[in-house]
Amino acid sequence: MKKKVLLLAAILAIVAVIAATLCACDPTEQQTGAQLLQQQYNDISLAKEIEQKIEITKGEFTQFASEKTYTKTEDGYSVTGTEKRLNDADPDADELYDTTEIDEAYQKAVDGKPTLKLDEQYFEAGFRLSETGLTANVKQANIKDVFGITGELTAPTDNLMLEMSVSGGRLSTVRINYDSNGSHVTITLTMTY
C-alpha cells in the first residue's frame, strides 16, 4: 500500500511539474496591464484612420498648430490637413500666421515599427494604469527610453505626461503634453478602426 501511495504521489508531482511548465508557456497567459497596453499600441497600424493634432502655445498665444488625418489606403496612407506657423520670418506680412494645406500620399514604411516602450519603472510614482488606459508622468531621465530616441533631444523636454485611452479593446487616443523653453506642447493621436 505504501508503494502505491508513493508511486501515486510521484506521478502527481510529475504531472504538477508538467502542468506548471505548460502554463508558463501558454500564449493565453494573462499579460500585465503595461504589456497589454503595449500590444494595443503596437497594433496602431490596424487603424483605418489616425487624426494627429499638434499645438505649441505660450500662454494663450498659439505658436504652431497642425491637424492631419492619415487615412489608410491599399499601398499606404493619404494625408490631408493644415499647418499653421507663426509668420515671424516676415515682420511686414499681412497675416500673423503662415498656413499650409497638406494633401500627400505615403507608402507604407517597411521598417516602420512602433517605438513607444511602456515600462512602469519609467513613470513617476502615482501613475494610473488600468484596462481603460494609462496616465503617467514620465521620469525626466527616461524620456528617451519611453520614446525610443537614440540621439539627443533637439529641444528641452520637461514635465512630460503620457495619456493613453482604450475603448472597445483597442487603443483609441494617445496624448503627450510637455513643456519646452517656456512653451507648452500637446500632441494628440486619435485612432478609428
pLDDT in tens, the chain (193 residues): 433 333 333 344 343 333 333 344 444 556 688 888 999 998 888 999 999 999 999 998 999 999 999 999 988 889 999 999 988 766 677 788 889 999 999 887 554 556 789 999 999 999 999 989 999 999 999 999 999 888 888 888 999 999 999 999 999 999 999 999 999 999 999 999 9
Count of C-beta atoms within a 10 Å radius of residue 125: 7
Q: Whole-angstrom Cα distance, residue 51 to residue 84?
A: 16
Q: How does DSSP classify residue 143?
A: H
The whole-number pLDDT of residue 113 equals 56
Q: Whole-angstrom Cα distance, residue 125 to residue 136?
A: 8
The whole-number pLDDT of residue 12 equals 41
Q: Whole-angstrom Cα distance, residue 81 to residue 102?
A: 5
Strand order in the sheet with 158-167: 97-107, 76-86, 61-73, 49-58, 183-192, 170-180, 158-167, 133-137, 128-130
Residue burial 15-33, b: 16+ Cβ < 10 Å; e: rest:
eeeeeeeeeeeeeeeeeee
Query: 171 is written with which cell numbers?
Result: 487603443
The whole-number pLDDT of residue 30 equals 66
User: What's the sign of the alpha-carbon dihedral 78, 81, 162, 190?
Assistant: negative
Residue identified by cell 513617476 is: 124
| Torsion on CA atoms 120, 123, 125, 126, rounded to nearest 10 | -90
The whole-number pLDDT of residue 101 equals 96
Q: Whole-angstrom Cα distance, residue 72 to residue 109?
A: 13
The whole-number pLDDT of residue 87 equals 81
